[in-house]
Structure 1
């Protein structure tokens, strides 16, 4: 009889163990999985909220600087307008010449051309002054260069000063692609400066990048040393 009671006890314990295991798989395990999933979702939501808060803080900071940002954009539009206005460029060049007391002998413009970004290779030039180029490898399709040819006459220092001011002055950006300053006659002290210039526009999809014919001179003056040589002409 004692043996039978032992068997019954063992059997009861075994059944209880089976029931416990079954309860684990049927009740507790799914509940734990659901809890783990809820914790994971909560963590993901918190991370997303933190990201959104960071973005919101950034937008609020930008909004606080809205006037400053608009001023920066306005300055960029001066250097890279969406439509070319060579009359304003000519005014800038003439004003610079007058400020330095030199004479503009000739100023002509060629047809604009879309800049090929593959020709912008400035890594070596940047490395020479301890910098890194930020343009090599860029891709864009909307930057248009308009070549101009400028000839001025005057004192060497004044011609050189005007050339420097054209590139670095506080006005529409003018890129000097080529420059040559020579004395008109030996000992005369009067120099001719012949400069190949480029001005740029950054056109948008709904803007025609070509210049009105009235602004393009009849004789084109492309520069063989222009780093943008090989650009595709606009249609």
Structure 2
């Protein structure tokens, strides 16, 4: 009887231990793991919320300056507009000429060209290749060691590639003016520095005039007056969505001229000026 009781007690104890172990592994342990996961997720969410709060505060602070940013964008858009606006440019040139005392004889635009941005490294390579081509070098001997070949002129390696601006084109311009030396010089300064529209002057040709009467649309001139031709580029940055209108012509390297303002022919002279000689 005593041995049988001990057996029952031992069995009961073993059964209780088994039940407790099973309850731990089947119930308590999974719940503890779930609780740990929830706590970890809560901490992660709190961290993300803190980051979002910081970002929102930063955006609110930046939004306070949106009016100033809009003003800067409007000024930049006037400097490099989204279309040619040649009539407006000619009008501004006419105003500058009137202020300087010079007379505009002609404003001649050419087809727009795609602007290709080049890195300083690529410019150095091109300049070096041009100099090497102009200066003969000794022919290497057959026993000379091999060397790495330099990139061809006009090419850009991957390390010097420059991101391009889609829709960024330049319109070549030739502006011919006549007047005294001081008036033409003032007009040149205005074209380079004082126009709302940005114009990059690339070349200036001046011819001294003698005393002549007015004829064939040209004003009279005095000894020492100057006939000046200002060559340069006006720039246009069309929106990316409409940049397809400026697709380069096959093999020509030029793009279509961006449209002028509706209802205005940019090649007709403005009142008081002449765009042809």
Report the TM-score, using the length of structure 1 for normalisation: 0.64
Stretches of structure 1 that go unaligned for 5 or more consecutive residues are 128-135, 218-235
Alignment correspondent of 2:237: 202
Alignment correspondent of 1:121: 118
- Check 1:38–1:92 CA distance in 2 against 1; reply closer, same or farther (3 A cut): same
Quote the offset at 1:78 in angstroms.
0.8
CA RMSD of aligned residues (A): 4.0
Q: Are 1:95 and 2:68 an aligned pair?
A: no
Quote the offset at 1:189 in angstroms.
4.8
Alignment correspondent of 2:164: 139
- Check 1:71–1:13 CA distance in 2 against 1; reply closer, same or farther (3 A cut): same
Quote the offset at 1:199 in angstroms.
1.8
Alignment correspondent of 1:211: 259
Q: Which has the larger radius of gyration?
A: 2
User: Greater relative contact order: 1 or 2 (C-alpha under 8 angstroms, separation 6 or more)?
Assistant: 2
Residues 180-202 of structure 1, C-alpha deviation per residue, up to 9 Å, x if partnerless? 3445269x654443322222233
SS of residue matched to 2:105: strand
* Aligned residues between the structures: 201
Alignment correspondent of 1:83: 83
- Check 1:62–1:185 CA distance in 2 against 1; reply closer, same or farther (3 A cut): same
Stretches of structure 2 that go unaligned for 5 or more consecutive residues are 125-160, 211-222, 246-256, 269-277
SS of residue matched to 2:265: helix
- Check 1:112–1:23 CA distance in 2 against 1; reply closer, same or farther (3 A cut): same
CA distance in 1 between partners of 2:89 and 2:20 (Å): 88
- Check 1:156–1:23 CA distance in 2 against 1; reply closer, same or farther (3 A cut): farther
Alignment correspondent of 2:71: 71
